[in-house]
């Protein structure tokens, strides 16, 4: 088993644990690369037939390519797709822009968080699978595989139940839900490598067009692309392998570098 196999197996284990402990489960799918990988792993866990629905929070501002992609995959994978929207908030809103009258956080709260709360209540969901990774953001690094949220979706990081070995706790108080994060131990590069290995369909926005690509996708009005020539999966992986500026890997590469340095020195370029 190589590294990707290990990551995969652990994630499948966690997904199955989540379902074993809580049947009223749903998978939160943002159509991005991480949750699409999560969806793929869930399909593997349940041998092709998800016994629970997939939930997409539609803010009305997602890239059109994402919506088309979503519907195509839902058909292809036979998913039970629930699309949640905060129709009330969207009613008076200007299309293509964040909601007026507040900051970005308020817009996210109204269009995303509230829509999610409504969906959980409407479908009686007790637990959600999310594609969050530890290496994404400082605070995420503190997340657990099984993380309880209370009524206000607050997360009390101080009082986290310990996760010992593979004993994942999932039951929670009435009126709140449990969040499960089977991808915590995956890095961004792991995700892309896995996408490549498995040929997981991904939204083309991640690949460069006209010198730009999106590193993460969400609402079109708040997402900015980065400069990049990487227009294929291989190119993106290559770019990530080198731009994360980690130490040069391996003695073999050090030797090569030394050789080339010598050459440049002899040529007077050093």
Partner 1 sequence: MGAVRQKPGVLVIGLDGLPFTLARQLIAGGYAPALARLAAEGRLQQMDSVVPTVSAVAWTSFLTGVQPGKHGLYGFVFRNPAGYDIEVCSTRVIRRKLLPELVSDAGRTAFSMNVPVTSPPRPVNGIMIGCFLSPDLEKAAWPAEEAAYLRSVGYRIDTDAALARRSTAGMLEDVRRTTERRVTAALHYLAARPWDYFHVHIMETDRLNHFLLGRALAGGGFAADFFDCCRYIDGQVARLLDAVAEDTPLLVVSDHGFEPIRQEAQLGRWLVERGWTVLGGGPVRSPLDFDPSRTRAYALIPGRIYVNLRGREPGGIVAPEEYEAVREAVTRDLLDLRDAAAGAPVIRRVLRREEFLWPAGRLGPCPDMPLRDRLFGDPVYALAPDLVAEPCPGYDLKMGLAKQALFEKTELEGMHTRDDAMLLVRGMAAPAGRASILDCAPMILGRLGIAAADMDGGAEGAA
Partner 2 sequence: MASALPFVIVGHVDHGKSTLIGRLLYDTKSLSKDKMAEVEAMSADLGRDTELAFVLDSLEEERSQNITIETTQVFFKSGGRQYVIIDAPGHVEFIKNMITGASQAEAAVVIVAAEEGIEEQTRRHSYVLGLLDIRQIAVVINKMDKAGYGEARFRELAAGMEEFLASIGRKADAVIPISAREGDNVARPSDRMPWYAGPTLLEQLARFRTAERDRGAGLRFPVQDVYKVGEKRVLAGRVERGTVHVGQDLVFMPGRGRAKVKSIEIFLQDAPQKAEEGRSVGLTLDKPLFVERGHVAFAAGEEHAPAGEVRARIFWMSREPFRPGEPLMLRCATQSAAVKAVRIDRRIHSATLEVLQENARSLGENEVGEVVITTQSPVVVEPLGAGGELGRFVLTRRDDVVAGGIVWWATKDSNLGPAD
Q: Enumerate binding residues for partner 1 (CB under 8 A).
A: 210-211, 226-229, 231, 234, 238, 242-243, 245-248, 256-257, 259-264, 266-270
Please give the Cα distance from 270 to 253 (Å, whole number).
19
CB of 49 to partner 2, least distance (A): 6
Residues of span 191-230 touching partner 2 by CB under 8 A:
193
CB of 13 to partner 2, least distance (A): 5
| Contact of residue 195 among partner 2, partner 1, none (CB under 5-8 Å per partner type) | none
| Size of the chain in residues | 270
CB of 16 to partner 2, least distance (A): 5
Among the listed residues 54, 57, 58, the one whose alpha carbon sits nearest the alpha carbon of residue 46:
54
Choose, by CB under 8 A, the member of 24, 97, 104, 171 that binds partner 2: 171
For residue 78, what are its two tokens?
Answer: 């036979």
| Contact of residue 4 among partner 1, partner 2, none (CB under 5-8 Å per partner type) | partner 2
DSSP letters of 94-140? Answer: PTTSPPTTS-HHHHHIIIIIIHHHHHHHHHT--EEE----GGG-TGG
Stretch that binds partner 2, among 17-25, 71-79, 98-106, 228-236 (CB under 8 A): 17-25
């Amino acid at each position: 088993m190589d590294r990707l196999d290990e990551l995969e197996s652990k994630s499948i284990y966690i997904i199955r644990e989540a379902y074993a402990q809580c049947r009223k489960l749903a998978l939160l799918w943002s159509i991005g690369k991480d949750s699409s990988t999560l969806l793929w792993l869930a399909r593997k866990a349940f041998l092709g037939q998800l016994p629970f629905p997939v939930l997409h929070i539609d803010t009305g501002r997602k890239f059109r390519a994402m919506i088309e992609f979503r519907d195509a995959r839902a058909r292809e994978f036979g998913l039970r797709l629930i699309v949640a929207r905060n129709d009330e908030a969207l009613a008076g809103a200007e299309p293509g822009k964040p909601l007026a009258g507040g900051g970005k956080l308020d817009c996210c709260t109204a269009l995303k968080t509230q829509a999610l709360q409504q969906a959980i209540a409407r479908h009686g969901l007790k637990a959600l699978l999310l594609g969050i990774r530890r290496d994404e953001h400082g605070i995420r690094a503190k997340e657990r595989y099984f993380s309880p949220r209370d009524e206000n979706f607050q997360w009390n990081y101080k009082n986290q139940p310990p996760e010992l070995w593979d004993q994942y706790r999932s039951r929670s108080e009435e009126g709140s839900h449990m969040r499960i994060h089977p991808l915590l131990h995956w890095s961004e590069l792991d995700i892309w490598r896995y996408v490549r290995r498995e040929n997981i369909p991904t939204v083309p926005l991640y690949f460069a067009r006209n010198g730009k690509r999106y590193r993460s996708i969400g609402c079109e009005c708040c997402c900015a692309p980065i400069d990049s020539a990487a227009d294929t999966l291989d190119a993106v992986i290559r770019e990530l392998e080198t731009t994360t500026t980690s130490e040069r890997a391996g003695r073999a590469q050090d030797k090569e570098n030394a050789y080339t340095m010598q050459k440049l020195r002899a040529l007077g370029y050093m």
